[in-house]
Structure 1
Amino acid sequence: MSWIKTVPFEEATGKLKKLYERVTGPDNNVDNIMMAHSLRPHSMEGHMALYKNVLHHSANKIPKWFLETLGVWVSALNRCSYCVEHHFSGLQRLLDDQPRGDAIRSAIEAETPEDAPLSEAQKAAMHYARKLTETPADLNEADVIALRDAGWEDGEILEINQVCAYFSYANRTVLGLGCSTEGDVLGLSPNNSDNPEDWGHR
């Protein structure tokens, strides 16, 4: 499940056990990306707090399915199949339109997001996400102005930025520790967006 030792749910004690209980899915399943933190529970706590607030918070204005789309795109650019599979499953569930979701994935796999069934504003966000992921030092104020011109407000631009930044962090956690999807239940997420303390995966 990863290249370093992990503590399974059944053997967890103390703070780790309490954190596991907060992030479990069906049958006490803990995603391998979270289990990878098990030797340092405080880093799992930080990871989940960031993930929940960036991607699953009711104060976000951008639809969650599109935030997931950005996450799949960033993960594909980083060649992180773990996050692609997890979050594409979540994207499909949230979008509830399988043909459209499949078309989005096809465009992502071809690295041609301009061909995806997305609005022009969303395509502009995908362009920004690519630049932030691949050549972040090349970004300048004009890239933010382009997002504004496409129709995004500054708070939404912040959401786009934070989701893309989070996924690069998550991708590097997975790729650097060798996490696999073995044993994971794909597509689950902490859907109680009104309670930032609720990390349960459903």
Structure 2
Amino acid sequence: MVHRRGARGGDPRWMPTQQHRATARSGAWVSLPRPLTALLVEQRVADSDRGAPKSCQKSRSSCGKALAPQAAEMIRALLNNKLSSFLSPQRLPLLDSGGLQRWPQVAYSTTEESAARPVGRYPVPNKKDMPYDIVELMEEVEMKTGFLPNVFKAMSHRPAEFRAFFAYYNAIMNKDTGRLSKADKELIIVATSAVNRCPYCVVAHGALHRIYSKQPALADQVIVNWKLADLSDRDLAMLEFALAVCRADNITEEHFQKLERHGFDREDAWDIGMISAFFAMSNRIAHYINLRPNKEFYTMGRTPGGEKEEEA
């Protein structure tokens, strides 16, 4: 920040630095009128130096007082345009870092579900209002696992789509043919969901991978950096192909040949690609409906005694 005096009246201004202007040109900074931008910068400074000497805080606060009348109307206009969440004190530090691209408010929360903190953005219908086949499936899953994964609750908002979603899920995840184990499939989901920044799928399928693989640390390693994880050459080739599909890279014969060198055939490549593609859709559904992982997923497969989860 650079402390400057304005041309009129000598009122102090805390103006953005060259770095902030460069950020604004790159598109990471929300475009705001000059007086309001200065007011926001002042608020960031006030939030960041609460422990500073009172004399310093006093000189800085004069800027906000001088600009408040001018900015009030602009703020009201922004609020009316539903941008109030962009201007909250908690998010202002992210304006110049591009961090506003995604803000998962409750995605990692393990707080119990309540009316104030539902499983997602859309309402979950009452069980008595759901179609019988959906209730039957949900009760079967809950009986096997000891809890009902939130994805079932969220998708019940649209019964026809619930049926289509889980029918295709079962077709690719529970097929008995091919060279992909259940642990392989879950590892593909973990790796691609991490790239797609989907907290629900990373947490839920990380838990399932721990159960099927009996390796409590590998999924966490893949989430952090799959290239440095304790993976075999076979698993690395599998994830390279899955992530190429996930990123919509140009898929060439070389991708298939590399899989074949590690024991996969063209049908296995189909399975790897289809899992990556299906969960790219699933990741985006979970993102826009703000789907929260169940707290049970966080500890599954990490300690002995996961027999009940393994049966699911």
What's the TM-score bracket when you normalise by the shorter of the two chains?
Answer: 0.7 to 0.9
- What value does the CA root-mean-square deviation take over the aligned residues? 2.5
| 2:155 aligned counterpart, secondary structure | coil
Deviation at 1:92, TM superposition (A): 0.6
For the residues of structure 1 that align with 2:271 and 2:218, how far apart are their CA atoms?
Answer: 24
For the residues of structure 2 that align with 1:47 and 1:24, how far apart are their CA atoms?
Answer: 18
The AA in structure 2 aligned to 1:31 is P
Structure 2 counterpart of 1:180: 292
For the residues of structure 2 that align with 1:34 and 1:139, how far apart are their CA atoms?
Answer: 33
Structure 1 counterpart of 2:232: 119
Relative distance call for 1:137 and 1:104 in structure 2 (3 A) is closer
Structure 1 counterpart of 2:261: 149
Sequence identity, in percent?
20
| 2:277 aligned counterpart, secondary structure | helix
For the residues of structure 1 that align with 2:210 and 2:196, how far apart are their CA atoms?
Answer: 21
CA displacement, residues 149-201 of structure 1 (integer Å, 9 cap, x when unaligned): 3321112111111111121121111112111124x64269xxxxxxxxxxxx8
CA displacement, residues 25-44 of structure 1 (integer Å, 9 cap, x when unaligned): 45984322122222321111
For the residues of structure 2 that align with 1:119 and 1:22, how far apart are their CA atoms?
Answer: 36
Structure 1 counterpart of 2:224: 109
Structure 2 counterpart of 1:35: 153
The AA in structure 2 aligned to 1:105 is D
CA displacement, residues 127-163 of structure 1 (integer Å, 9 cap, x when unaligned): 11222112x1522232222222332111211111111
Deviation at 1:115, TM superposition (A): 2.4
Deviation at 1:14, TM superposition (A): 4.2
Tell me which of the two structures has the higher relative contact order, counting C-alpha pairs closer than 8 angstroms and 6 or more residues apart.
1
For the residues of structure 1 that align with 2:296 and 2:146, how far apart are their CA atoms?
Answer: 11
Structure 1 counterpart of 2:121: 3
Deviation at 1:54, TM superposition (A): 0.9
Q: Is the 8 A contact 1:19 1:45 kept in 2?
A: no
Relative distance call for 1:118 and 1:138 in structure 2 (3 A) is same
Structure of higher CA gyration radius: 2
Structure 1 counterpart of 2:21: none
Aligned residues: 183
Relative distance call for 1:73 and 1:13 in structure 2 (3 A) is same
Q: Is the 8 A contact 1:15 1:41 kept in 2?
A: no
Relative distance call for 1:21 and 1:42 in structure 2 (3 A) is farther
Q: Equivalences for 1:15-164 in 2 at 5 Å?
A: 15-25=133-143, 29-98=147-216, 102-110=217-225, 113-134=226-247, 136-164=248-276
Identify unmatched segments of 5+ residues in structure 2. 1-118, 302-310
Deviation at 1:91, TM superposition (A): 0.6
Identify unmatched segments of 5+ residues in structure 1. 189-200
Structure 2 counterpart of 1:198: none
Structure 2 counterpart of 1:197: none
Relative distance call for 1:103 and 1:97 in structure 2 (3 A) is closer
